[in-house]
Amino acid sequence: MYDVYKIRNDFPILKEKINGKKLVYLDNAATTQKPLSVINATSDYYKHYNANVHRGVYTLGAIATQEYERIRKKVADFIGAEESSCIVFTKGTTEAINLVAYGWGRKFLRDGDEVILTIMEHHSNIVPWQILARERGIKLKFIPLRDDGTLDMDSFYSSISEDTKLISITYVSNVLGTINPIGEIVKIAHNIRAKVLIDGAQGIPSIPTNVKNLDVDFLAFSAHKMLGPTGIGILYSKREILEEMEPLLGGGEMIKRVSIFDSIWADIPYRFEGGTPNIAGVIGFGEAIDYLNNLGMDEVFKHEKILTAYALEMLSSLDGITIYGPKDINLRSSIISFNYKKVHPHDVATILDQNGIAIRAGHHCAQPLHDALGISASCRVSLYVYNTKEEIDCLIKSLEKVEKIFSYGT
Ligand code: C6P
């Protein structure tokens, strides 16, 4: 039985008062809050077995290394990866995508090759490809949206060609909440021998996912959007792809042998983890995965669906609101962006903040999408495991206050 009130007790920050009001945290797409078990695991590492990994032969070093590698395996199991060496620790989704662009793209993409993106990508899945396009002369193509906020699959089919080498696409839009048809896209891509990178930043925290079944080539995601610490992320790829990739960072840890003019890279995944990693972050991430596994990802997904349906219903009842993204609950996640009464999103967010409610306002690092929608900014609510219907009621009440404040004197 999913008991959201019991779950909330595990998150100390949810007891905080903001501007004298109970915190209502609705910005989970930016980063989620952390349960006490994650906070404790991170500090336990520093208190009890702080040492660098893969270096010291002494006991503390061995314990730290063992824990670090145990969590690599846990991450592999969480996404259904066959082996833990296919899991590379990065500092987040952004670094993971950059690693693919430079470690794989720079080596294998040539002038005239095409990379297919979509108009709903986060800047992290646009800018690295623009940099590579300048460097390598590759061509970027952007798949537009249909009116309902889903991907225009007809345009997708007509855009692919024998020059398409990579399709790099978000699992879930961080603005529209749209869940993209990853399975179908992977099949099409593999028919033309293109690779597929999934930006899983907003999908992996909510949707039970198995990379082996989906057959994706690359998957990037961030721990901090799924109860884990900031500064830790994952690049998953298939062994045969990783084996061919070049490292992004040169330095300690990522080599087998260094001589003055040349070096031999370490085996995967260490080749991609130059320098001392975020060990405490990895330890905390392990605990976050345990927490989600204990809840059950199917239950997490279900809870979010119920809340999203409620939030959409309540928001839609407000006069003067424009909600972006699919209306069909089956096509979307718990991220809801909107504009209200022509009030600037920053003003909306500021008034909500006075009531203890945290939402994001702005372009959400997705300016091309906002351009396509014909707006410069939006308000965004994003829900996660500990959110409740009462919090949505609180949001709606506060939005009504926004209306009162801005209609004064008109
Ligand atoms: N989106 C948001 O508020 P990092 O910062 O590397 O952990 O994740 C980058 C990233 C990549 N792809 C998508 C789809 C994302 O949503 C994000 C992060 C946050 O929407 C911060 S801008």
Q: What is the pLDDT of residue 147?
A: 97
Q: Would the CB of 333 count as within 6 Å of ligand 1?
A: no
**Res. 408 pLDDT band, cuts 50 70 90:** low
What CATH number does the domain located at 4-27+296-405 have? 3.90.1150.10
Q: Rounded distance, CA 87 to CA 297, Å?
A: 20
pLDDT at residue 410 above 60?
no
Q: What percent of the chain has pLDDT over 70?
A: 99
Closest to 239 (Cα-Cα) out of 277, 214, 267, 209: 267
Task: Please report, as a single letter, which amino acid is at residue 292.
Answer: L
pLDDT at residue 409 above 80?
no
Q: Please, where are the H alpha helices in 50-146?
A: 59-78, 93-99, 106-108, 127-136
DSSP helix, strand, coil percent of the chain (3-state; round to 5): 45, 20, 35
Atom of ligand 1 nearest to the CA of 199: 12
Q: Would the CB of 90 count as within 6 Å of ligand 1?
A: no
Q: Please, where are the H alpha helices in 153-249?
A: 153-159, 182-191, 211-214, 239-244
How confident is the model over 390-400, as pLDDT tens digits?
A: 999 999 999 99
Q: Would the CB of 30 count as within 6 Å of ligand 1?
A: yes
Confirm whether 365 is a catalytic residue: yes
Q: Looking at 45-49, 54-58, 128-132, which range is the least confident one? A: 54-58
Residue bearing tokens 């839609």: 316
Cβ atoms 402, 352 nearer than 8 A: yes
- The reply to whether domains 4-27+296-405 and 39-293 share a CATH topology is no
Q: What is the pLDDT of residue 406?
A: 82
How far are the Cα atoms of 23, 98, 204 from residue 12, in angstroms, in the given order? 11, 34, 24
Q: Rounded distance, CA 285 to CA 204, Å?
A: 13
What is the total residue count of the chain? 410
Q: What percent of the chain has pLDDT over 90?
A: 97
How confident is the model over 184-222, as pLDDT tens digits?
A: 999 999 999 999 999 999 999 999 999 999 999 999 999
Is the domain covering 39-293 a CATH 3.40.640.10 domain? yes
* Cβ neighbours of 110 (radius 10 Å): 10
Atom of ligand 1 nearest to the CA of 175: 20
pLDDT at residue 115 above 90?
yes
Domain ranges of the chain: 4-27+296-405, 39-293
CA of 291 to the centre of ligand 1 (A): 22
